[in-house]
Structure 1
């Protein structure tokens, strides 16, 4: 698991977060750089107005050069608390008449050239006369030229030089904060993703995987406990639902094997006992015919059980192929009742057969439908009271045939209604297993299901039990 989905998920999330933070940090850095220089230029321009006012005083003759220099130094002493810069004031011909730094007093009265400006810039590599921020770190100084216009006449230039190193240092500090914050955010995000992924996804999946392995080893009662309302919770519920189905199937398999073993062992034991008794001379010769007849009945019972098992297995495996044809269900019921005539007379039963019409044609497999009718009538004859009553009726309703078989025997307990269709289930535990294999009703329901029909059972208010199934009518 750790080398699979977990590592892939962490790698994907880390990559996405890292790319997002890198892009965000780059955008913030670029934005801050432009914002910083815009603010810097705005601040320098604002401070230059003070210098410009002093220069205009000099131009009007209200202030001497010495006074201008002194005032300029005082102004720069004030603004240098925020901006480290040197100021040079020149007339329209390029002659310097005021400087802020006493170090450059020798330039006063001289015409400034490139060499002198480089000296002011502390002999750095180049001078930038434009505010082009894209190349700022390649320059040693940023030089701002602010023209002085007095009475609509160009009177000179104020040149303000700021060391690029100071600018670079300020910007770099902000860059460091941005990128260190981004790296820390990526690390924290990865830790949080790891924790929540481990708790929300990986841990539940590991639980499901562990329980799945235990179920595969035969511990079908194991379940997972996942308390969440998301897809992982739904997966856990689906897994438990599957585990319930597997446990039910496993229990059914064990019960089926147990029942089959019991049902087969019983007649085989009887057959073995009867034949063994005759071979050992325990059974008198004059009674051998009687015990041979009992042995024959047990063999028939065993044959019936095996045939029922084969039929039910074939139906449930989907190997049953129906040969649908038009059949008269009323005629089939009459014929089946006649087959049970002997048993009916033995129990002195009253059989009432009532049809709405003499003929009722349905679409069904003749052999399988005969098996359905036979099993249901046989079930009614087995469980009806002696001297009891059986009612068989057919009627048409909504293009379907409804076939009902009623007997006034004991009613089915409420707790048994959901089990009478189970294999080998016998509602009346007091009856001997020789009366039924417990496969008749499951076979009936399986055959009707293959026909696309259904069957239900109900306890009648007047007493007794009634089975009703449907078939498709053919006109």
Structure 2
């Protein structure tokens, strides 16, 4: 009955371990597995000791040796060194060595008892009086180790030492049981955590594959502990690297396309001029004018690439100055208003009554404003208003100076467009027919980030809004 109960407990503990493996943190899981392993191994060792190892105890040779060495050998040495022919002195010594579990006799060859620590026994079976003879047997099933030992050794002068021991045997199983418990604990603990070890190996192999270029590899998510969090982080890292690799390839392709197109045009017109393929000076001037525009466009693109590279290196030094935003907005609006009017757009400026001061690198911050206005200028619907606003807002309990540019775009803006506006070389026109490096908004984002701020893009009714938040 007890064995069945123990087995039921083992099954329950295993079930609990399997169910809780997705709840605990890794450290708690290991502690729990160690406790479960200790309990299971303890019950298993008890079971083995009582029901399996008991069958081997009857063959034990340790008990007679232990009893003789620790209880009899000293008496035997004393008897060999004394005058055992002096019966009164001999009996007095034997009385002193009285022990209920071990009866000791000095006998003659015929079995007659000369002295003993139990005076009730006068004779020993003559067949037992043989030098070196010993017997050992358990008196029951052996589960409590109760045994009987007899032994006969020759002393001297024709006398023998004979003793009978009835008691619990000294079976040298304590160390064996301890070692068995440790081994069993280690095996069970290893089995319980084997899946986690295998999972760590899986994570390791996946990371190696990612490092070797298999960027699509992902670690399967199995646990809700630190291993699971590590797997999520590795998968996130792999997706970011994969996205960056894709972006890098697109970056190189787009650079090639954007640089080759104007360069091809310039080289084409140069070849026409060299071969005198023009009919008049006005046609020649037109060729030169086109080359000039393409050259300026090419220079602007290269400037954008250089600016983006410099801002992405994170080692740029900001030369900050204190600026008043309202005054800056007025100056920019005055400079840009005519150009907007010529394209059929109205540039509207909205300023607060209070002055708003910020500390920025003037050249870089001016680049932010110009890029946002340039973006609105290129992609606004004709006969619409481009709004340029300055204000203050509280965001996450922090005051910010806010510069906002909103416009009504020519084409519908999708959710994907909003998410990708600040990606390098992103153009809504996937055919890349419209001029522009595709780096303007990426440069804006990097400049704002360098100043400790952030930028948001969102739709408001039919308007596209860009908001720059700068710490006041």
- Give the distance between the partners of 1:455 and 1:162, measured in 2 at CA: 100
The one-character-per-residue Cα deviations of 1:387-412 (angstroms, maximum 9, x if unpaired) are 22222222344553222222233452
User: 1:146 matched to which residue of 2?
Assistant: none
CA contact (8 A) 1:141 1:163 kept: no
User: 2:403 matched to which residue of 1?
Assistant: 403
The one-character-per-residue Cα deviations of 1:165-218 (angstroms, maximum 9, x if unpaired) are x87xx735x32x5555555555555555555565431x3333233223322221
CA contact (8 A) 1:87 1:101 kept: no
User: 1:293 matched to which residue of 2?
Assistant: 289
Tell whether 2:236 aligns with 1:236: no
User: 1:310 matched to which residue of 2?
Assistant: 306
- Give the distance between the partners of 1:141 and 1:289, measured in 2 at CA: 134
Q: 1:185 to 1:451 in 2, by over 3 A?
A: same
User: 2:360 matched to which residue of 1?
Assistant: 364
Q: Normalised by the size of structure 2, how large is the TM-score?
A: 0.62
Runs of 5+ consecutive residues of structure 2 not aligned to the other structure: 1-33, 47-61, 72-100, 107-114, 133-149, 154-160
The one-character-per-residue Cα deviations of 1:211-262 (angstroms, maximum 9, x if unpaired) are 2332222111112225234443333333222222222222222222222222
Alignment counterpart, residue 346 of structure 1, candidates 337, 342, 349: 342
Deviates more, 1:213-222 or 1:463-472: 463-472
CA contact (8 A) 1:86 1:100 kept: no
Answer with 1 or 2: which has the greater Rg: 1
Deviates more, 1:383-392 or 1:337-346: 337-346
CA contact (8 A) 1:86 1:101 kept: no
CA contact (8 A) 2:104 2:117 kept: no
Alignment counterpart, residue 99 of structure 1, candidates 96, 121, 124: 121
Q: 1:103 to 1:441 in 2, by over 3 A?
A: closer
Alignment counterpart, residue 171 of structure 1, candidates 165, 169, 177: 169
- Give the distance between the partners of 2:384 and 2:116, measured in 1 at CA: 136
CA contact (8 A) 1:400 1:470 kept: yes
- Give the distance between the partners of 1:355 and 1:292, measured in 2 at CA: 43
Tell whether 2:214 aligns with 1:215: no
Tell whether 2:434 aligns with 1:439: no
CA contact (8 A) 1:364 1:471 kept: no
Q: CA offset at residue 102 of structure 1?
A: 5.4
Q: 1:97 to 1:421 in 2, by over 3 A?
A: closer
- Give the distance between the partners of 1:467 and 1:97, measured in 2 at CA: 114
SS of the residue corresponding to residue 311 of structure 2 reads: helix
CA contact (8 A) 2:452 2:471 kept: no
CA contact (8 A) 1:324 1:364 kept: yes
SS of the residue corresponding to residue 433 of structure 1 reads: coil
Larger proportion of helix = 1
Q: 1:393 to 1:84 in 2, by over 3 A?
A: closer
Tell whether 2:262 aligns with 1:267: yes
CA contact (8 A) 1:337 1:377 kept: no
- Give the distance between the partners of 1:95 and 1:258, measured in 2 at CA: 108
Runs of 5+ consecutive residues of structure 1 not aligned to the other structure: 1-12, 26-31, 42-82, 105-119, 125-138, 143-159
User: 2:272 matched to which residue of 1?
Assistant: 277
Deviates more, 1:190-199 or 1:264-273: 190-199
Q: 1:180 to 1:472 in 2, by over 3 A?
A: closer
SS of the residue corresponding to residue 417 of structure 1 reads: helix
CA contact (8 A) 1:421 1:442 kept: yes
Q: Normalised by the size of structure 1, how large is the TM-score?
A: 0.62
CA contact (8 A) 2:321 2:362 kept: yes
Deviates more, 1:255-264 or 1:277-286: 277-286
Q: CA offset at residue 375 of structure 1?
A: 0.8
User: 1:421 matched to which residue of 2?
Assistant: 422
SS of the residue corresponding to residue 222 of structure 1 reads: coil
Q: CA offset at residue 367 of structure 1?
A: 0.8
- Give the distance between the partners of 1:266 and 1:342, measured in 2 at CA: 30
CA contact (8 A) 2:403 2:467 kept: yes
User: 1:245 matched to which residue of 2?
Assistant: 240
- Give the distance between the partners of 2:366 and 2:118, measured in 1 at CA: 126
CA contact (8 A) 2:103 2:118 kept: no
User: 1:454 matched to which residue of 2?
Assistant: 454
Q: CA offset at residue 330 of structure 1?
A: 2.4
User: 2:465 matched to which residue of 1?
Assistant: 466
Cα RMSD after superposing both structures: 4.4
Q: 1:351 to 1:140 in 2, by over 3 A?
A: same
The one-character-per-residue Cα deviations of 1:406-457 (angstroms, maximum 9, x if unpaired) are 22334522231111111111224477331x2211111111111111122222
Q: Structure 2 matches for 1:176-191, cutoff 5 A?
A: 177-182=173-178, 184-189=180-185, 191=187
